[in-house]
Structure 1
Amino acid sequence: MAAPARQRILDATARLLREKGIARLTTREIAQAADAAEGSITKNFGGKLGLLTTLLSTDLPELAAWRDALTPPTPDPQDLRVALAGAADAAIDYYAASLPLIAGAVSDASLFEAYRATNTANGTGPQIAVQQMTGYLTAWQQRGALDPRADTGTLALLFCGAAQMQAWTDYLVGPDVLPRSRAERIDQVVNTLLR
């Protein structure tokens, strides 16, 4: 049985965006690749930029992996250490996957304004990751695994920023540019967050 049109459209969009970028991609091409009617893109997502924000905000496989890595809080600080290391690894993969999808939107002034407006209208954007990590760290803090004096919003911002910088550096310059291995850098970030 074929996947629903909405999911076929999301899958086709993710693949085509990586191949072509957003600026040159048309809704007609997406519909053809998804074996769906072009109008179903407007019906389900409000257009190409609504489709892009949905993909980045909820439907990238790498985002699902990041969310899956956010294991339920326990009172044991060692469990938090393991959870944060897994979440950091998944967050780096998400930021690496999202960079080529966002690049086309921000490189064109009119696309960027439309992308920003769509994020504003939908309540989506990069702040969601920081908000979710803040909530996650707060839950661990309430279980006693994180220092009660720690500012979880700042820790979440540091976590997301470190993951994004790692992903962007790997993507734009190469994986061996930063000192130490990826695992060692993740360990250092986690150690810093848990001090």
Structure 2
Amino acid sequence: MAPPARRRILDAAARLLRERGLARLTTRQIAEAADAAEGSITKNFGGKIGLLIELLSQELPELRAWQEAATPPGQRPMRTVLVDLVERGVDYYAASLPMIAGAAADQELFAAYRNANRQRGTGPQVALERLTDYVAECQDAGELPRGVPPATIALILCGTAQFEAYAEHLFGADALDGDRSERIRAVADVLLAGRPSER
């Protein structure tokens, strides 16, 4: 049985956005790839900008994996959680970077993308806000030190993930000195300073 049209459209859009970028992609091409009516894209998503926002804010598998890494405090060792959060964050930013690059390069598209995010209450700040809430929950449970504001820890986690993805996308996996896993574990250790080791 074929997946519903909405799922087919989202999957086709994700693939084509990675391959072609937003500026060179039309809703007709997405509809053809999804075996769906072009009008259904406008009706359900408001066009290709709406599709991009839907993917980046809700529908990318990499985003769901990143969100699922935030397991309830105490369920897994905190060091494992922090490493997982950054690793999954790298995956998300690596998947989203090629999609957003086309919009960022075109002033008109970028303005439309920015305005649509404002109207919908979406954008990169949402990931940071959710992670800040999760960090605060972990601090309340005694899993993370309380001496650092939750938003700062969330920014360190998101920033590390984004920079790793950005550097690898532009210059390859060996862009930075050392091993990515070791760098991420070191970030986790810094954030856990003052707590017993969980090695």
Distance in 2, matches of 1:107 and 1:60, equals 22
**Aligned twin of 1:72:** 72
Post-superposition offset of 1:145:
1.1
Post-superposition offset of 1:149:
2.5
User: How many corresponding residue pairs?
Assistant: 193
**Aligned twin of 1:119:** 117
Superposed CA deviations along residues 82-137 of structure 1, whole A, max 9, x for unmatched, are 11111111110110111000000000000000000011011111111111110111
1:9 is the counterpart of 2:9: yes
Structure 2 counterpart of 1:124, which letter? T
Distance in 2, matches of 1:179 and 1:83, equals 24
Segments ≥4 residues shifted beyond 4 Å? none
Structure 2 counterpart of 1:45, which letter? F
Post-superposition offset of 1:150:
2.1
Distance in 1, matches of 2:115 and 2:132, equals 25
For 2:7, what is the secondary structure of its paired residue?
Answer: helix
1:168 is the counterpart of 2:166: yes
Distance in 1, matches of 2:151 and 2:48, equals 32
Report sequence identity in percent: 56
Post-superposition offset of 1:70:
1.4
**Aligned twin of 1:177:** 175
- TM-score (normalizing by structure 2): 0.94
Unaligned runs of 5+ in 2: 194-199
Post-superposition offset of 1:19:
1.2
User: C-alpha root-mean-square deviation of aligned residues, in Å?
Assistant: 1.2
1:37-186 residue pairs with structure 2 within 5 A?
37-74=37-74, 79-186=77-184
Post-superposition offset of 1:166:
0.4
- TM-score (normalizing by structure 1): 0.96
